Structure 1
Amino acid sequence: MSIGDDGGYGDGRGSGTGQTRTRLPDGETDTYGTPRRARAGLSSRNLITVVGVVVLLLAAIAFANRGGSGNSETDSGSTGPAKDRAAAQPTAPTGTKPVTGKTGDIASGFPKTEQGAQSAAANYVVALGSSPMFNRDQRHQIIGTVMAPSAVDAVQAKLDTLYSPQFFKNAGLKPDGTAPAGMAFVFRTIPVGTKATALSASEATVDVWCTGLLGLAGEGSTKPVTTNWITFTMKLTWTGNDWKTLSYTQKNGPAPVSGDVPASGAKEIAGAVAGYGGFTYAR
């Protein structure tokens, strides 16, 4: 999958067979079983100091470095302790119509409600954890859409430094961040569920439990597509009649035991990623 082929966020991007609007899945599990347990892919060896603000990219960095494992937690900014709610609400349809607006290819216009905050967090995680982030212009558009105005400049500066030719080389990509000939770069994040852990008149903190696909699909790939499981904690603020992201943290898991579904070939994986469009997530 090339950068333009990822359909993993908003109303979709690339050459998928049509984008689907759906409510946030309930209890969906990863179906890309592998004969071995895929590493969570979030090395704590040398990543914390270079990522700083944008922790969604730790999976991509670990993919490039392929070292270490564990359940380290990294802070993208000071969010303070999340306020525990009495009981988490299950991820289930609410009956409220999903958002119909969009900014670029990312859903927007989320309501100023707990449901709206959860929907915004899920869609923003998907946008930030997608292959278009490896293209400078597309990355700037994504950051400008999902981040609060006060956070945009710092995040873009961090990412422009991070996405260097050396980083692309470590990831098995060409110096411009595109996949080598005969390879398809796969980077897609799929929310499994959300819960709000804090909510006020103008701010919300939302946990988004995700699985993801990451790697290079193609014959002879030294970085095959694997899955990981991550939970993101996103701090949102109500800005300009929409929810925007102030900062976020991440930690590995919860990760289920790998299933017994045989791993598919590189060609089949690349075709599936290009052929299946992404979702707009709403409660």
Structure 2
Amino acid sequence: MSLGDDNDGFGGGGSGQTRTRLPEGGSGDPYDDTRRPPARSSRSLITVVGVVVLLIAAIAFANRGGGDGETDNTSGTSPTAGNRNPTSATGVRPVTGKNGQIPTGFARDEQGAQSAAANFSVALVSADILKPDRRREIVRQLFVQDKVAELEGSFDKAYNRDFLDKLGLDANGNAAAGLTYVSRTAPVGTKVTQFSEGAATVEVWCTGVFGTAGVSSTNPVTNDWFTITLALRWADNDWKVETFSQKEGPAPVNTDRTASDADAIAKAVEEYGGFTYAR
């Protein structure tokens, strides 16, 4: 599902897709080779090498983070600044707070802004955004207070009855009996283009599956690639969306993999849960 025409700023319907021990010491002169048979020296060397390898492995494992009792890195530093490999995960765990189905309590730094933007993108291009009651909850959770009323009207206008009819959905955003509407977004990467203490602009590169699964569907489930740009503001002790827009791509070359049938797609959507995304 598309949020609409490129850079429309509010997500209106448009022409896009519905879419990480020391060697044992002996007494006496440690350099006296007469007291150290060659065989023992060889075994000691192997032992030392083995211990060093284990220590390196242990350090690498510890640096991955994510274990119980570890402390999150929310010191306010920017882990992405000067990062030579910006698409790599940092290893910092996602936030633990949640308002409904949407994570909350992001750090007031670049990484926190990226995590917020990724999670907000998932909500903005979801099946729930087409359901009027759920849409109002999402808008009030994601957007700064002074934009809520305006955006509620814009969303309602964009996702009007005609738009829902084209997707095979009723006025409440529900598919007909025997059909399952699919709108599942997966962020592929994030990039901060502007950042200050109180504001940030983040681009989120996404892919996803969108459409209606079912034998009689006239809007089959397809995949799409797009980039959402979110202008964020620090408000109410968290990141909130001020404005956003969408553009197509970057998209890879499609493979020739055989498409799954409608039942398999509908079953996958019901059985596989979504994620909380963190940079």
Tell me the TM-score range normalised by the shorter chain: 0.7 to 0.9
Q: Give, in angstroms, the shift of residue 132 of structure 1.
A: 0.8
8 Å Cα contact 1:52/1:158 also seen in 2: no
Q: Give, in angstroms, the shift of residue 166 of structure 1.
A: 2.1
1:222 — aligned with what?
A: 218
Cα displacement string for residues 132-156 of structure 1 (whole angstroms, at most 9, x for unaligned residues):
1111111011011111112111110
Q: Which has the higher helix share?
A: 2
One of 261, 272, 279 as aligned partner of 1:276: 272
8 Å Cα contact 1:88/1:195 also seen in 2: no
**CA 89–235 in structure 1, closer or farther in 2 if over 3 Å, else same:** farther
8 Å Cα contact 1:165/1:177 also seen in 2: no
- What is the 5 A alignment of 1:24-103? 47=5, 52-55=8-11, 57-58=12-13, 62-63=16-17, 90-103=86-99
1:134 paired to 2:111: no
Q: Give, in angstroms, the shift of residue 42 of structure 1.
A: 5.7
For 2:222 and 2:99, the matched residues in 1 are separated by 30
8 Å Cα contact 1:53/1:155 also seen in 2: no
AA at the equivalent of 2:214: G
**CA 276–62 in structure 1, closer or farther in 2 if over 3 Å, else same:** same
- What is the 5 A alignment of 1:1-283? 47=5, 52-55=8-11, 57-58=12-13, 62-63=16-17, 90-283=86-279
AA at the equivalent of 2:203: D
AA at the equivalent of 1:133: I
8 Å Cα contact 1:230/1:254 also seen in 2: yes
For 2:250 and 2:13, the matched residues in 1 are separated by 17
Cα displacement string for residues 182-204 of structure 1 (whole angstroms, at most 9, x for unaligned residues):
11000111100001111111111
Runs of 4+ in 1 over 3 A off after TM superposition: 41-44, 61-64, 85-89
Secondary structure at 2:277 match in 1:
strand
Cα displacement string for residues 229-276 of structure 1 (whole angstroms, at most 9, x for unaligned residues):
001111101101100011112211000000122100000011011110
Cα displacement string for residues 63-97 of structure 1 (whole angstroms, at most 9, x for unaligned residues):
56x9xxxxxxxxxxxxxxxxxx9878512222323
For 1:113 and 1:43, the matched residues in 2 are separated by 27
8 Å Cα contact 1:166/1:175 also seen in 2: no
Q: Identity of paired residues, percent?
A: 45
Tell me the C-alpha RMSD between the 2 structures: 2.4
Q: What TM-score does the superposition give when structure 1 sets the normalisation length?
A: 0.71
AA at the equivalent of 1:187: S
For 2:2 and 2:179, the matched residues in 1 are separated by 23
Larger radius of gyration: 2
Q: Which is bigger in relative contact order (C-alpha 8 A, separation at least 6)?
A: 1
8 Å Cα contact 2:233/2:239 also seen in 1: yes
State the aligned residue count: 218
Secondary structure at 1:117 match in 2:
helix
AA at the equivalent of 1:173: L
8 Å Cα contact 1:211/1:228 also seen in 2: yes
